């Protein structure tokens, strides 16, 4: 499957990946929170397609099950009860999962080359073979999405079903959604749909309805339609203005080049020391061997049992 998609960004790598196939539309998943009934079909379809099964959890007195994302639950419904100023109760249900940011904090923070890649269609994907399990992606993520598996110490999250999308299909959660709450298409088309829906919601009296496509991370390829876009925090802590943590900027911006320089200088000093002082000499011991142990010279090409003398 190599080069099946243009890779536009790759963690901890400075060389340019092959990018000639540029005629790729950006895709997006649109989650209309105002249509969600919290049935969790998306959670089930996600697990089924991705061959995951999470542990049977415990009831915590809410509908949240599981209560948080895990390495096996790449999407979860988050239920929050909000009391309005008029004293009405709003039951806000948000499908949580990777937002597939245009400027992914996980990818910026990741120190393992190629463990996180971003395709030209906007999908941010984890390449688990290269993951070293450091957890920097969790620190880097403004939405706190990736989770490290206790089984293999590797990080996992929603792939936006990159395998399905690559085969021309929609993500599993999108297909199964019975209420048409999750939609999929090009980012352009999804924005158009979202705008239409926002107009409908405003006509219904939701004056603050709007699209959640935060500019702080360059926009996302998973967008929400919110009835209260002025206060995303109401939806189980969706950040109002998500940004990549300044710690990640410091690590990638200043610390890493300085530390790289120090390592380089140390290596260079070692070379200079070797050139001026020469290698450390150890008295070589002459091992003794019986003639029986020596294999015939023609079978091995060289005598592996003899000490490696300077004169060879």
Q: Which residue ranges make up the site for other proteins (CB under 8 A)?
A: 1-5, 7, 10, 12-15, 17, 39-41, 43-45, 47-49, 111-114, 117, 119, 125-130, 159, 162-164, 166-167, 172, 175-178, 180, 256, 260, 263, 267, 308, 310, 312
Closer to other proteins by Cβ: residue 85 or 180: 180
| 36 known member of a binding site | yes
Q: How close are the terminal C-alpha atoms of the chain, in Å?
A: 48
Rounded to whole angstroms, the Cα distance separating 171 from 163 reads 9
**Contacts (Cβ under 8 Å, ≥6 apart) of 123:** 5, 27, 100, 159, 160, 162, 165, 221
Of 71 and 172, nearer to other proteins (C-beta) is: 172
Residue 280 C-beta: closest distance to other proteins, Å: 13
Nearest alpha-carbon partner for 242 in 142, 102, 96, 100: 142
Type and span of the H or E element at 82? strand 76-83
| CA dihedral of residues 241, 242, 248, 254 (deg, nearest 10) | -30
Contact residues for 198 (Cβ-Cβ < 8 A; gap 6+): 209, 210, 211, 225, 229
Nearer to other proteins, 89 or 304 (CB): 304
d(CA 70, CA 47): 11
Is 131 annotated as ligand-binding?
Answer: yes
CB atoms within 10 A of CB 183: 21
Nearer to other proteins, 114 or 135 (CB): 114
Q: How far is the CB of 269 from other proteins (least distance, A)?
A: 14
Q: Write down the least CB distance from residue 16 to other proteins, Å.
A: 10
Q: Which is nearer to other proteins, 130 or 202 (CB)?
A: 130
Annotated binding site: 36, 39, 42, 46, 98, 101, 106, 110, 131, 134, 137, 141, 158, 161, 173, 177
Annotated binding site for [4Fe-4S] cluster, which residues? Answer: 36, 39, 42, 46, 98, 101, 106, 110, 131, 134, 137, 141, 158, 161, 173, 177
């Amino acid at each position: 499957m190599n080069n099946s998609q243009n890779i536009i960004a790759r963690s901890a790598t400075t060389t340019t990946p092959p990018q000639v196939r540029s005629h790729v539309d950006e895709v997006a998943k649109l989650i209309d929170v105002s249509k969600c009934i919290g049935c969790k079909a998306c959670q089930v379809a996600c697990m089924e397609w991705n061959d995951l099964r999470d542990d049977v959890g415990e009831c915590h007195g809410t509908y949240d099950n599981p209560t948080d994302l895990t390495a096996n639950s790449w999407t979860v419904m988050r239920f929050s009860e909000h009391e309005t100023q008029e004293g009405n109760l709003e039951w806000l249900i948000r499908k949580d999962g990777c937002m597939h940011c245009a400027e992914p904090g996980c990818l910026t923070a990741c120190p393992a080359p190629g463990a996180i890649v971003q395709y030209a269609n906007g999908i941010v994907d984890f390449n688990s073979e290269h993951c070293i399990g450091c957890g920097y992606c969790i620190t880097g993520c403004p939405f706190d999405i990736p989770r490290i598996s206790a089984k293999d110490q590797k990080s996992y999250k929603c792939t936006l079903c990159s395998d399905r999308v690559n085969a021309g299909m929609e993500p599993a959660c999108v297909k199964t959604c019975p209420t048409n709450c999750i939609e999929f298409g090009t980012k352009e088309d999804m924005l158009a749909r979202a705008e239409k829906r926002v107009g409908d919601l405003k006509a219904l009296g939701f004056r603050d309805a709007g699209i959640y496509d935060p500019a702080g991370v360059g926009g996302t390829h998973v967008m929400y339609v919110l009835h209260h876009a002025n206060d995303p925090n109401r939806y189980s802590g969706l950040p109002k203005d998500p940004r990549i943590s300044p710690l990640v900027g410091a690590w990638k911006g200043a610390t890493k080049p300085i530390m790289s320089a120090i390592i380089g200088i140390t290596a260079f000093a070692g070379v200079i020391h070797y050139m001026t002082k020469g290698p450390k000499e150890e008295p070589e011991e002459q091992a003794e061997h019986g003639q029986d142990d020596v294999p015939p010279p023609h079978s091995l090409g060289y005598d592996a049992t003899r000490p490696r003398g300077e004169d060879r």
